[in-house]
C-alpha cells in the first residue's frame, strides 16, 4: 500500500529529474537512487528519471564486472520504492546477459528499466547504438540490443514516455520510432562523456529531437568526473524549461499534456511526413 497522499487534480504530469553522480560502489549508488525517489515522492511526482548506468559506473568503461541481473538488488530496490511511493521510475542499469564479443570474452548489456507505480517492471530497453565514437569503444564490453525490438513506451498519468539512452540521441530515427509507438515524451538517461563541443552537442540534439517530433524531451545526464551532467527538459516547441549545470541535483518539473497537444495541432509535421522508420537489416 502506498504511503503517498492522493495527488491533487491537475492537468500536468510531474517529472523528477535525478542528476546523480555514480561510481563503482553499488551500495552508495543505490542509496543515492533511493534518496532521489524519496525526494520525488515529497514533490508528488508521477515519474522519476535516473541517468544511464545509475546502478554502477566507471568512466574507463562498464562491463560484466559492474553488471547485475534484472532480479538483482538495484532493480529490486527500485521496484519496492516505486510501489511504496506510488511513482514510476526510469533508470539506466547494466545487465550481465550480453552475447560474447568476437574475441570470446563475455559482455554485458546497457539497459534502461521502466518500473510502473505499482512496482512492476513495465519493460526493458537494451541500448541499440553503442558508443564507439570519440575514441571510445563501448562494444568491447557491451553487446547491442536488437534493433527490431519493440520500442519501450511507458504510460504515466495520461502521457506516454518513450525510452532512448545516451548515444541514441544522435540518431533521429531512434526518437521517431518511439514517437511512432505513441510516445509524447522522449526520456533519455545518459552518461554523456565530456569533451570538446560535447555539452553543445548534448543540448542541441535534445532540442532538435523535441522540435522534429513535437515531443517533450527529458534528458537526464550523470554528474561527476568525465561526464557533462547538464540535464534538461525541453518542450515540444523546442523551449528549454529546465537546464542544470554539472553538479549532482534533483529537480521536479510539470509537463503540460494540453500544451503538447496544442503544439502538435499547430505544427502537424508528424502527420505530414512521407517516410517511415524501419530497422536496418
For residue 174, is it within any domain? Answer: yes
For residue 3, is it within any domain? Answer: no
**How many domains, the chain?**
1
Q: Residue 4's pLDDT is what?
A: 52
For residue 7, is it within any domain? Answer: no
For residue 111, is it within any domain? Answer: yes
Q: Residue 102's pLDDT is what?
A: 84
Query: Which residues are identified as catalytic?
Result: 52, 127, 166
The percent of residues above 90 in pLDDT, for the chain, comes to 92
Q: What is d(CA 47, CA 17) in angstroms, rounded to the nearest whole number?
A: 9
Whether pTM > 0.85 for this model: the answer is: yes
For residue 175, is it within any domain? Answer: yes
C-alpha cell at 274: 512521407
Q: Could you tell me the CATH number of the domain that includes residue 61?
A: 3.60.110.10
C-alpha cell at 174: 531512434
Residue 182, number of CB atoms within 10 A of its CB = 11
pLDDT in tens, the chain (281 residues): 445 544 444 579 999 999 999 999 999 999 999 999 999 999 999 999 999 999 999 999 999 999 999 999 999 999 999 999 999 999 999 999 999 988 889 999 999 999 999 999 999 999 999 999 999 999 999 999 999 999 999 999 999 999 999 999 999 999 999 999 999 999 999 999 999 999 999 999 999 999 999 999 999 999 999 999 999 999 999 999 999 999 999 999 999 999 999 999 999 999 999 999 998 87
Q: Residue 11's pLDDT is what?
A: 72
For residue 6, is it within any domain? Answer: no
Q: Residue 103's pLDDT is what?
A: 87
- φ/ψ region of 44 (left if φ > 0, alpha if ψ in -120 to 50, else beta) reads left
For residue 274, is it within any domain? Answer: no
For residue 4, is it within any domain? Answer: no
Q: Which domain holds residue 102?
A: 12-267
Of 141, 171, 183, 157, nearest to 56 by C-alpha is 141
Amino acid at each position: 500500500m502506498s504511503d503517498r497522499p492522493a495527488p491533487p487534480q491537475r492537468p500536468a504530469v510531474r517529472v523528477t529529474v535525478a542528476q546523480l553522480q555514480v561510481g563503482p560502489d553499488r551500495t552508495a549508488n543505490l542509496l543515492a537512487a533511493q534518496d532521489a525517489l524519496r525526494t520525488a515522492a515529497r514533490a508528488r511526482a508521477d515519474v522519476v528519471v535516473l541517468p544511464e548506468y545509475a546502478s554502477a559506473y566507471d568512466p574507463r568503461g562498464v562491463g560484466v564486472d559492474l553488471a547485475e541481473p534484472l532480479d538483482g538488488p538495484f532493480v529490486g530496490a527500485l521496484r519496492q520504492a516505486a510501489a511504496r511511493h506510488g511513482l514510476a521510475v526510469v533508470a539506466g542499469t547494466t545487465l550481465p546477459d550480453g552475447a560474447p564479443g568476437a574475441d570470446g570474452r563475455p559482455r554485458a548489456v546497457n539497459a534502461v528499466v521502466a518500473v510502473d507505480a505499482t512496482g512492476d517492471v513495465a519493460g526493458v530497453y537494451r541500448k541499440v547504438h553503442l558508443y564507439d565514437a570519440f575514441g571510445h569503444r563501448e562494444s568491447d564490453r557491451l553487446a547491442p540490443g536488437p534493433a527490431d525490438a519493440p520500442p519501450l513506451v511507458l504510460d504515466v498519468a495520461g502521457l506516454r514516455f518513450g525510452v532512448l539512452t545516451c548515444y541514441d540521441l544522435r540518431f533521429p530515427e531512434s526518437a521517431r520510432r518511439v514517437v511512432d509507438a505513441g510516445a509524447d515524451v522522449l526520456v533519455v538517461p545518459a552518461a554523456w562523456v565530456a569533451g570538446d563541443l560535447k555539452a553543445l552537442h548534448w543540448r542541441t540534439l535534445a532540442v532538435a529531437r523535441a522540435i522534429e517530433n513535437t515531443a517533450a524531451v527529458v534528458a537526464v545526464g550523470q554528474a561527476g568526473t568525465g561526464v557533462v551532467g547538464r540535464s534538461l527538459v525541453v518542450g515540444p516547441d523546442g523551449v528549454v524549461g529546465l537546464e542544470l549545470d554539472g553538479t549532482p541535483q534533483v529537480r521536479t518539473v510539470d509537463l503540460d499534456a494540453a500544451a503538447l497537444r496544442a503544439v502538435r495541432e499547430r505544427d502537424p509535421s508528424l502527420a505530414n511526413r512521407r517516410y517511415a522508420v524501419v530497422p536496418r537489416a
